[in-house]
Chains A and B, each alone.
Chain A
Amino acid sequence: MLEARELGKAFRGRGGRPFWAARGVTLSVRPGEVFGLIGPNGAGKTTLLRMIALMMRPDEGEIYINGESGREFPDRLRHRIGFASGNTRLYGRLTPRETLFFFGRLYGMGRQEIARRIEELTGMFDLGPFLDARCETLSTGQLQRVSIARVVLHDPPLLVLDEPANGLDVLTSESLFRFIRAAGRRGTAVILSMHQISAIENLCTRVGLMHEGILIRQGIPAEICRETRQPDLQSAFIHLVSGEDVGDRGRRS
């Protein structure tokens, strides 16, 4: 579904020297797979996910979505992608129904198709009670449900989620995780980044560890733990980054 080869992105640094936010990243996500990215702040996760969502042009490397190169027609290829991040907020002055209608039109859907889909999603995410209230009046949890409905509105085969659980309480996060698992089971390819490494461990079929722009390790969580001889993913990550053996300490805290 998703193939990234040697992806790199450089920004202009203070002194005019290029600063590589991500470099040499190669990964693939198959349908039904949930791929989790972990790494500290500034590791380049957001830059990588923006390139994968075809919102940012890579300076190096290639992206293929369903075998089609992201270099040629990135605008058209975004039809296949559902993207959400902490920065993809909703228009406060529109209602959820209007929001979904608006985005449906941008994804090239017909009016009746959108109306039908809104009905489906309303049932799926229980949007009914606030479907016609302005988004600025909704609670965080309600907004999150509308946001997810917005992401899957056009039924994309690839979901790119950058810190989707940021700012959510335990209950709302849990329902988000349930949705992601369900999407994976339905055959959607998902790539996401998250701070809560423990959640990633339970949620993802495969994970990638990013540090200073480089994907230092990827694989099945249990395998990474075994290879690094650490009890959990968090300790494995710290071990890989600092070379420190923190396994036991990590467990106790």
Chain B
Amino acid sequence: MNWRVLQTLFVKEMLETFRDRRTLFMMIGLPVLLYPSVLLIGAQVALLRQERIDKGVSRVYLETASLLDMPLIRPWLEASGKISVVYTIMPRAALRDGEIDLIATVKAPLSETFFARKPLAVELLYDVTEQRSLEALDRVDRLLKDVAEREQRRRLEERGIDPSEVMPLTVSRVDLAGSAKVAGSILGALLPALLIIITALGAFYPAVDLTAGEKERGTLETLLSTPVTRSELVTGKFLAVFCLAMLTAMVNLVAQLGTMYVFLGQVSETLPAAFSALLRNPLPLLAVILAIMVPMALLLSSLMMAVCLFARSFREAQTFLTPVMLLIAAPALIAGMPGLRLTPFWTFVPVVNAVLAFKEAMLGGVLPQDLFLVFASTLAVALFVLACAAWLFQREEITLADDPVLPLSWRRDAYPPRDFLSASHALGIFGGVMVLIFYVGSLLQAYWPLPGLLLTEWILVLAPVLGVLWLVRADFRAVLGWRPARLSAYVAAVFLGIGAFLATASFGALQERFLPIPEAYREAFQVFFTAGRDPVSYVWLFLVVALSPALCEEVLFRGVLLRGFAGRFPAWAAVLLVSFLFGLFHLSIFRFLPTALLGIPLAYIALRSGSVFPAMLAHALVNALALAFSLRIMPEPVSLWFFPAGPEVSQVSLGALILGAGLLPLGIALLEKGRRA
């Protein structure tokens, strides 16, 4: 690595970037104009709502055991002027619908309790998801406690006892940190995700411009003809992308904090004070931001460059980066999960660790040791990705290839018949399906679990894929592997299917140790199994849960994606990439690893047999086995032999593990033998 060469490359990239008005505007101008305004509007709406709640009157439904008590208790509540007692016919429904904010139930008549010197029980019903309801709860709770304390004092004095003697402790609430906390919580919720997204946006444009852009403008070949080594080339470009990403991120950060500081004063008096408190001693905050942003920028720059290297044009690079952006935005959601803290496990998960470290810092301080680990592990991943990028640059088919561009048209006759889909087109189809599932599929399944799943698979996965293939006049046999396989391939698929089922089950048990599935998530799945216990329901269930996903998902993953990738990448890389996307497809962090793992044998089967059908068989078998064990259709001894602790625990017995370990090589041998024949 020659430092002078690196410096020369770096200076040239910077010079070129800063001379391009379009790049400058996309990198700095647009975010500076756009994001603060989005932030501003969002914050204003949130704050206005908060204020309306503060100033508003809580509507409380009061229920007393005796009608006579009503005029006595009502003044207790309405004394503050912030509560109005309202009447409604169905209070619980009204509370659910947000027509009232709280139901207060006095369990027994005052004459038997309060006035008879016995404890009076008051029950407060509220809705934790409604800010107004929580506010009402707080108000009523305080008022009732005041009444209780006054009465206690009165009774003690009546007996001639000094209240301070029997009240060893008095608690008074003084909200000192109020405003700072509001600022902290807003920043804590907003900043980590914001920081990562702006860093990603900062890296996005330079990464595309310096790789695919250079290829498109035809200057890459000029560069490749010089004595510069490929590693020097990648490193020089990477340094430039990194610096531009950091620069953009910094400009954005300053602009955003500035906007918050200046404009929030119009809607709140407390926030600016809190900010200036924060800005007066910004060093800890800055240290955290830098400790997180620098390795994040390193990682994102190298990742995006590596991805863009595959692209042959500007537009293709942007398509390739879209799933990467999704991948980066997802951790922001994960970190939003309540109760998720920076444990040793999460410290080593890139992006997630940065968000969690930031959250810790906002919650009261992150240990320098943890911060260092986050920094170091992110750096390690970044260097690994950079090495991958340098390796990719060595490959001539990536740096020197030229591929014809597909026309974009709705008319079928614009496309010549083809027996080949490129990796980028396959990826485009995957992206489209993901968008459909994300916005339509999840909605369908939420309202209508089983039919929703069926519709998702057939209408949102299978139909669009086949539709696009029909439109571009692709040969189904070639681009999907839609052709019969040898008998031995189906036998191998059965062996590998059973083996893969046992392997994923054991992996699930392993994963449970470091990433336990929350109860609520588990319950969501129970809905499948609450169907009737008659044969018709079972057949229906097997069709929807086992058979139809196998058919539809195989067409997309082990068909279009696998064959598309296999044309561009080595076979092993195509298998891994497809499996990774298959894991992503399930849209759940808990199912990501098991499903990605399952994708590997399925892709292997499809690739070796040359057909998608054996993969469908194996996939259906895995799903059917999982379903049969969960429904307890299997005879008890069989079930216990496989899962001694019950199928829910998915702890596979030693015997079953040996069976699986035997079936896998058997299936592989069958496929390899069939391939040679």
Contacts and interface: CB of A to CB of B under 8 A. Distances in A.
Interface of A: 11-12, 14, 16, 50, 53, 55-57, 75-79, 81, 83-94, 98, 102-103, 105-108, 134, 150
Contacts, number: 80
A92 B218 CA distance: 11
For the residues of B in contact with A, the DSSP-based class is helix
A91 B228 contact: no
A93 B221 contact: no
10 contacts: A14-B420, A86-B218, A87-B221, A91-B12, A93-B15, A105-B5, A106-B5, A106-B8, A106-B223, A106-B227
A202 B5 CA distance: 40
B590 to A, nearest CB: 37
B397 A12 contact: yes
Contacts of B396: 55-57
B8 A102 contact: yes
Given A55-B400, A93-B15, A88 B228 contact: no
B400 A93 contact: no
Nearest to B420: A14
A2 to B, nearest CB: 15
B222 A79 contact: no
Of the candidates A14, A76, A83, A105, the one having the most CB atoms from chain B within 10 angstroms of its own CB is: A105
B227 A76 contact: yes
Given A14-B419, A87-B221, A107-B226, A93 B20 contact: yes
- List the 10 shortest-distance A-B pairs measured between CB atoms, nearest first: A83-B225, A89-B218, A88-B222, A105-B8, A93-B19, A78-B227, A87-B221, A106-B226, A75-B229, A93-B16
B4 interface: yes
B224 interface: yes
Contact of B222 (A57, A90, A134): A90
A57 B228 CA distance: 15
Given A55-B224, A88-B225, A107-B226, A102 B217 contact: no
Contacts of A83: 225
A162 to B, nearest CB: 9
B674 to A, nearest CB: 17
B283 to A, nearest CB: 39
Contacts of B16: 91, 93-94
Nearest to B17: A93
Given A11-B397, A93-B16, A98-B15, A79 B227 contact: yes
Contacts of A150: 222
Contacts of B419: 14
Contact of B226 (A14, A56, A89, A103): A103
A90 B219 contact: yes
Interface in B2-24: 4-5, 8-9, 12, 15-16, 19-20
Contact of A55 (B19, B225, B566, B567): B225
Interface string B372-398: 000000000000000000000000110
Contacts of B9: 106
Given A78-B226, A87-B218, A106-B9, 20 more contacts: A14-B419, A14-B420, A14-B567, A50-B400, A56-B400, A76-B227, A83-B225, A86-B218, A87-B221, A87-B222, A88-B225, A89-B218, A89-B219, A93-B16, A93-B19, A93-B20, A102-B8, A102-B12, A106-B8, A134-B19
Contacts of A16: 566
B221 A85 contact: yes
Interface in B207-241: 217-219, 221-229
Contacts of B420: 14
B218 A78 contact: no
A89 B222 contact: yes
A201 B66 CA distance: 116
A160 to B, nearest CB: 8
Nearest to B571: A16
Contacts of B567: 12, 14
Nearest to B2: A108
A84 B4 CA distance: 24
Contacts of A90: 219, 222
A77 B176 CA distance: 72
A84 B396 CA distance: 17
Nearest to B12: A102
Given A91-B12, A93-B16, A102-B8, A75 B228 contact: yes
B435 to A, nearest CB: 30
A102 B226 CA distance: 11
Contacts of A88: 218-219, 221-222, 225
Of the candidates B9, B12, B19, B223, the one having the most CB atoms from chain A within 10 angstroms of its own CB is: B12
